[in-house]
Structure formats: structure tokens, C-alpha cells
Homo-oligomer: A and B are copies of this chain.
Amino acid sequence: MKIITISREFGSGGRELGKRLADILNFAYYDKEIVTAIAEQNQLNENYVEKRLENKFTKSYPITFGRTFYRTSVLEQNTTKLLVAQQHIIKELAAQGENCVIVGRNADILLHDFCPLNLFVYAEMKSKIKRCRYCASENEQLSDREIEKKIKQIDANRAKHRELISNSKWGQKESYHLCINTTDWLIKELAPLIENYSQYWFRRTEQ
């Protein structure tokens, strides 16, 4: 079984790269599908689940899952439950044995035993702002400064979520097999190159 995990800075095009890789390689693609599964299993609204999973933690947040919380809010307790549910679902998906691409959600850590190919996708801030603006809906009219703030906030939360389950730092190149700067790239041009690399990477690990 072959698994590619994609960790990415918000606005770097990591999600698009993951989707395109999955398409070219004919792999399953898991991203929002995970949110949908959590929502269904817990009879919750998808938007609510998604929002809570991207939520910021306070410093008082306990590191260990599954213990009783006294100092955290109900919202944070709910987030923890959803994060635990997410971990289970990601492991279940991997255990199905299908080749797949999983975007975000610390899948590189969670699926360590499956020896996934771990990619990190990043870009210069100006490039990320441009991409966010391009992808934004018409109703979402943010200034560059507001977009930058949003990017930094989301990435800080991702780093924080990783800290809960790992000693390795989010975005630190040592945790990944390849770190790809997408500044000025069209993802559709980049995808076949990374697909080529991935094919060789899997061939090598199979030996």
C-alpha cells in the first residue's frame, strides 16, 4: 500500500497538489471526506466539525487525550473529541489498504507505521495571498493584510495541533521527505514532477 501525506502552509496550493497527485496516480484522496465521516459518525454539522478542527487551543489545553478536563471549556472538550475521532478515521482509512493521498491532519505522524511519503508544501507570503485571493468566493473581500493574518492564524493552529501528538515541529524540513516551494508555480505543472518523484520513491521503498 502506498500513502502520500501532504502537510502544507495555508494558501500554498498543497490541497490542489494532493488532489492532482491522487488523480494522476489513481489513488484515493482524503481531505474533506474525513470531516464528512466525522460529522456523520457523530451526527454533527460538517461546517461545525471543520471549524472546531481548525480551532485555536488555549495554553491550558492538556497534552494527553482521553483524560478528564477541568480547566478547558466545553468547546475545547468537543474539539478534543473530534480530534480523537479524526485520528481514528485516518487510521481506519489507512488500514483499508487502499493507495491514497491524505492532506493535512497530521497524517504523517498518525500513519508513521505505514511508512508514508511525507511532503511539505510552502510558498512565499505574497504568493499565498495571491492564491487565497484567486480561490476566495465573491463574498469574501479581504485586504492583503487580513488574508496574511488569516494565513498565519491557520498555520499557527496547525502547528499547535501537531504539538499535541508529536515532538517534531510542523513545517520543519527534517520531518518530510521533500519540501516544495510553490511560489510562482502552477500546481498543474508541478504535479507531474512530484508524481514522477513519488513513483520512484515508492519503487525504492519496495525494494
A-side interface residues, number (CB < 8 Å)? 24
- Across the interface, do A181 and B189 meet the contact criterion of CB distance under 8 Å? no
**Bound CA–CA A193/B190 (angstroms):** 13
Residue of A183, A200, A205 contacting most chain B CB atoms (<10 Å): A200
Copies in the assembly, this chain: 2
**Which of the candidate stretches A33-41, A58-66, A131-139, A172-180 sits at the interface with the other chain?**
A172-180
Residues of B within 8 A of A196 (CB): 193, 196
Known A-B contacts A193-B200, A196-B193; A122 and B180 likewise in contact (beta carbons under 8 Å): no
Q: Which of B173, B174, B178, B204 contacts A184 (CB 8 A)?
A: B204
Known A-B contacts A173-B122, A173-B173, A174-B122; A189 and B180 likewise in contact (beta carbons under 8 Å): no
Q: Does A197 contact B (CB under 8 A)?
A: yes
